[in-house]
Amino acid sequence: AQKITQTQPGMFVQEKEAVTLDCTYDTSDPSYGLFWYKQPSSGEMIFLIYQGSYDQQNATEGRYSLNFQKARKSANLVISASQLGDSAMYFCAMSLINTGNQFYFGTGTSLTVIP
Amino acid sequence: NAGVTQTPKFQVLKTGQSMTLQCAQDMNHNSMYWYRQDPGMGLRLIYYSASEGTTDKGEVPNGYNVSRLNKREFSLRLESAAPSQTSVYFCASSQRSRIEAFFGQGTRLTVV
């Protein structure tokens, strides 16, 4: 069975510091995509970053980077220079090409940025 | 840019009542999904439709039915609502699994 694990229910970070949110995944499918979404208190799901299983380089999008370690099946999100507006829930997700484009989500990490 | 539109945004039902959650996307996406979000559980897939005319069960399909009316629309029906179905429901769509899924604003459903 496909699975996404986020082991940090809550995290705190000082403003302007970097923070790493952990995500591990489990699949036997060789072709998959890994995603991070942000959900602020307003409730919408905001796409942050994508990493394909065949991508050689780690994905980056502005202050977000994805630390992809394929052998360890981890896809950690690194947020640099944290801002107060980064306080939100963060979800790691995986999609599988060979199973009808299903997306699987982790249970999320609540990030609080402290001024 | 409408993206994914869900209706209604809020709903209160009595146990045993039925209702349909509507979802439409204007991005010409093939795949559409229904998720429920509960505290501490993340998003769990209820049903998905990989293409027009097909639907498949996800992790938590019991108590729900879906219809992929056309490429744009994917509805979720609760035939006999139960308090355990109190949740926030999200509809999403994607073109293929290497591209992100786009989400609607969510429907907050309370069953009393």
DSSP per-residue string spanning chain A: --EEE---SEEEEETTS-EEE--EEE-S-S-EEEEEEEE-TT---EEEEEEETT-SS--EETTEEEEEETTTTEEEEEE-S--GGG-EEEEEEEEEGGGTTEEEE---EEEEEE-
Q: What is the pLDDT of residues B33-80, one digit of tens each?
A: 999 999 888 899 999 998 888 999 998 999 999 999 899 999 999 999
Task: Answer whether B98 sits within 8 Å of A44, measured CB to CB.
Answer: no
Q: What is the pLDDT of residues A97-112, one digit of tens each?
A: 776 667 899 999 999 9
Task: Answer whether A105 sits within 8 Å of B44, measured CB to CB.
Answer: yes
**Residues of chain B with C-beta less than 8 angstroms from the C-beta of A91:** 42-43
Q: What is the pLDDT of residues B83-93, one digit of tens each?
A: 999 999 999 99
- pLDDT tier, B4 (very low <50, low <70, confident <90, very high otherwise): very high
Tell me the average pLDDT across A58-77.
97
